[in-house]
Structure 1
C-alpha cells in the first residue's frame, strides 16, 4: 500500500503551530532558538538569488508562448483571460481596502510594530543575485518579444530552446528545494514572530482575511458564469453545477495543470465544442489566474496595512497589471503563483525575502487551493464566452448557421 503524503498546506499549518509554541519556550538556550532562524535567513538569501533567475526562466518562455497558436482565437482568449484577471485583482483590492481596515486598525499596527526584538542569526552567507529584479524584468520582456518575432519568421528555435530548458531547471529548483523547504522557512519565521511577541496580533488578522478571500472567490466565479450564461443563453445555475467536479479536484490537487482533464470534461458537459474546450481550457490553465490574483492582492493589501505602508489604487493597479502578465510564468505546482509574484513585490514596497515577504507567502499558501479552484472554474466560463464570440465572429464573416454550429 502506498503511504499517503502530507500535503503542503497541512505542513505549513503544523510549521506555524510549532513555530509559535517553540518561540514561547524561553527556557530553551537562545542558541537553539537561533538555529531555525538562521536557516530561514539562509533560505531567504538563496531566494533572493533565485528570484531574478525565476523571472528569466519563466517570463521569457511565457511571453514567447503567448504569441503562438490559432491567431484570432488565441488573441480573443488572451484578451478575455487578462481582462478577467485584472478585473478580479481590482475587485480584490476594493474588497480589501473596504473591509480590512475595520480589523487592521492603528492600535493593532502600533502593537505589531512596537513588539520586542526578534532573534538574530548565528551566521549569514553573503550571496548576491546575478541581476537585480528590474534588470531581469526588462531583459525578460525584450527577449520574450524578440524570440516571438524570430519564431514568426521561422527562426529562433535554439534561443527559445535554451530558455525553455533553463525554465525547466528553475522549475526543478522550485519543486525540489523552494517548495519542500517552505515549511521549515515558515517555522523559523513564526518562531521569531512568537519570540518577539507580535504573532498573536497577526494571527487575529489571518482568519478574517482568509474568510473574505474565499467569499470573493466564490462570488467572482458565480459572476463569471452568470456573464457566460447571459452571453451564451445557457442556464448559469446548470453551468455552475457542472463545474463542481473541476472545483473540488482543484482544491485537492492545488494545481491548474493537474485539473485540466477533469476541467475539459466539465466544459463538455457545459456544451462547449471539442475544438474550443481542448484549446481554451489548457491555455487558460496557464494564462488565466483570477483566483490567484484575488488571493495575492488581498494578502498584499493586508500586509501593507499591517505595516502601515502606502496602498493607494494607483500603486496597486500598477502591481495588478504587472502581476497579470507575470503570473503567466506560474508553474503548475502548489504555490506557483506566489513564487512567480515574489519578484514584483518590490513594486509595492515589500521585500520578498524579508519579514513582510515571509508573512505574505504564509498568508497566500494557506489559501492556495481555493485560489486554484477559482482559476480553473473561471477557465470554463471563459471557454463558453470564447465559443460564443467565435461563432458570432464567423457569422459576421458570412458563414451560415449550419457551418457555425459545426465548429
Structure 2
C-alpha cells in the first residue's frame, strides 16, 4: 500500500513539476531530461520482450502443473471476462470519442525538434521482437507442462524473480523522472493544454466504465447462480472499498474472500477462486488501458481498424494474466503491445503510464470485486465443491505459484 501510494504521489508531483518547469526552464537544461527520456525509452524497448518472456513462461507452466478441471474453468472465465471488458471499451470508444474528443490533438511534443533534441542517443536493440517473445514464452511454458522438468521450471521462476527485481528497483523508481521529462517537453512545445483537457475527459470515462463492467459481471453471475445481482454486488462493497484504499489485489484477498462467502460461495471454492483471480482477472485494468490507448489513437489520427484493435485486446488479455504484482505492473506489461501492435512512441507510452497510475485504485477495485462474480459462477458449476482433494490441491498450488508474480 505504501509503495502504491508513494508511486502515485511521485507521478502526480512529476506531472505538476513538469508543467511548472516548462514555463521557465532554459532549453539546454530541458535537453538533459529529453536525453534521459531517450535513453530510458530505448531501455524499455530492450527490456520489454525479456519481461514478457520471463513473466509469461512460468505463469503458463504453473497453470499446467496444476491442470485441474476447475483451474481451467476459472482461468477461462477470468480471461473471457477480461476480453469482454476490452471489447466493451472498444465499443464505448467508437461510440463516444467522436463526440468528446477531437482528431489531431497533439499528444506529446516532438522530442527531436529544435532545442529539445537530445544531446546524444544510445541504441539498445531488443534481443527479440515482442511477438517472438510471446510465442517463445507459450512454446517453452507449454513444453514444460509436458516434459515436467522441475529444473527448467525453477530456472524460469528464478528468471521471473530477477525481472521483478529490475522492475521494482530500477524501472518503477525512474518512471516519475520519465513522466516529468514528457510533460516538460509538452509544456515547452505548446501541446500541454489540449492534451491535458482531452485526457481528463478520458480519465472520468474510464472510471465510470469500471462500474459498468461490474454491473454486467454481476448480472451474468446472478443469472447463473440464481441470486439477486445487486444484492451480491452490495455484499462485495467492502472488498471494493479496501481495494480502492490499498490499490492492491493481494492485500484485499481476505476481505474479498469474506464478501464472497456472504454471496453463498462455499469456503473451498472461495479459498481457491479468490486468490487465483486476484492475479489473473484484470477486467478493470483492461478497461482503463484500452480506453486510454484508443483515445491516443483517435486524437493522433492513427489507425483504429477493427482487426488491429481486436488483436491488441486478445493479446493484452494474456499480458494481464502475467502482469507483475507491483504498482504500475499491468501497464508495464502492456508497453510492448502498445509499441508493437499500436505503434506508440515513447511520449505516448509515458502518457499511458501516467494516466493508468492516476486512477490505478479504481481499476484494482473493479478487478477484485469482479472476482466475487467469478466465484459465484464457479460455485454454481462446481456445486459448492472442487471435487477430490488431489485436484483442489493441485489448483491451489498453481494459484500460489502464480500469485508470487
Q: Secondary structure at the match of 2:105?
A: helix
Q: Does 1:119 align with 2:112?
A: no
Match of 1:9 in 2: 8
Contact between 2:109 and 2:185, CA under 8 Å: does it hold in 1?
Answer: no
Bigger Cα displacement from structure 2, 132-141 vs 382-391: 132-141
Residue 67 of structure 1: how far off its partner (Å): 2.3
Per-residue Cα deviation, 1:211-270 (whole angstroms, up to 9, x for no partner):
111111001112211221222122222212221121122122222222212211211222
Residue 68 of structure 1: how far off its partner (Å): 3.3
Q: Does 1:388 align with 2:380?
A: yes
Q: Cα RMSD (Å) of the superposition?
A: 2.4
Match of 1:398 in 2: none
Cα distance change of structure 1 residues 393 and 108 upon mapping to structure 2, 3 Å threshold: same
Contact between 1:245 and 1:262, CA under 8 Å: does it hold in 2?
Answer: yes
Q: Note the residue ranges of structure 2 that are not aligned, 5 or more in a row.
A: 388-405
Q: Secondary structure at the match of 1:108?
A: coil
Q: Distance in 2 between matches of 1:103 and 1:178?
A: 34
Match of 1:273 in 2: 266
Contact between 1:61 and 1:160, CA under 8 Å: does it hold in 2?
Answer: yes
Q: Distance in 2 between matches of 1:73 and 1:233?
A: 20
Bigger Cα displacement from structure 2, 292-301 vs 136-145: 136-145
Cα distance change of structure 1 residues 321 and 179 upon mapping to structure 2, 3 Å threshold: same
Cα distance change of structure 1 residues 295 and 383 upon mapping to structure 2, 3 Å threshold: same
Bigger Cα displacement from structure 2, 264-273 vs 203-212: 264-273
Residue 111 of structure 1: how far off its partner (Å): 11
Q: Distance in 1 between matches of 2:69 and 2:383?
A: 12
Residue 110 of structure 1: how far off its partner (Å): 10
Q: Distance in 2 between matches of 1:61 and 1:16?
A: 36
Residue 385 of structure 1: how far off its partner (Å): 0.5
Residue 129 of structure 1: how far off its partner (Å): 2.1
Q: Distance in 2 between matches of 1:358 and 1:191?
A: 12
Per-residue Cα deviation, 1:186-208 (whole angstroms, up to 9, x for no partner):
00011001111111111011111
Q: Secondary structure at the match of 1:67?
A: helix
Q: Out of 323, 326, 330, which is 2:316 matched to?
A: 323
Q: Does 1:51 align with 2:48?
A: yes
Q: What TM-score comes out, normalization by structure 2 length?
A: 0.89
Match of 1:370 in 2: 362
Q: Distance in 2 between matches of 1:390 and 1:118?
A: 64
Q: Distance in 2 between matches of 1:111 and 1:143?
A: 38
Which aligned pairs between 1:4-403 and structure 2 lie closer than 5 A?
7-25=6-24, 28-69=25-66, 71-106=68-103, 108=105, 119-151=116-148, 156-351=149-344, 354-391=346-383
Q: Secondary structure at the match of 1:7?
A: helix
Q: Distance in 1 between matches of 2:281 and 2:108?
A: 39
Q: Secondary structure at the match of 1:75?
A: helix
**Higher relative contact order (CA closer than 8 Å, sequence separation 6+):** 2
Q: What TM-score comes out, normalization by structure 1 length?
A: 0.89
Contact between 2:281 and 2:371, CA under 8 Å: does it hold in 1?
Answer: yes
Residue 307 of structure 1: how far off its partner (Å): 1.3
Q: Distance in 2 between matches of 1:322 and 1:311?
A: 16
Match of 1:403 in 2: none
Match of 1:400 in 2: none
Rg (Cα) greater in structure? 1
Residue 337 of structure 1: how far off its partner (Å): 0.9
- Between the two proteins, the alignment pairs up a number of residues equal to 385
Q: Note the residue ranges of structure 1 that are not aligned, 5 or more in a row.
A: 396-407
Q: Distance in 2 between matches of 1:330 and 1:394?
A: 26
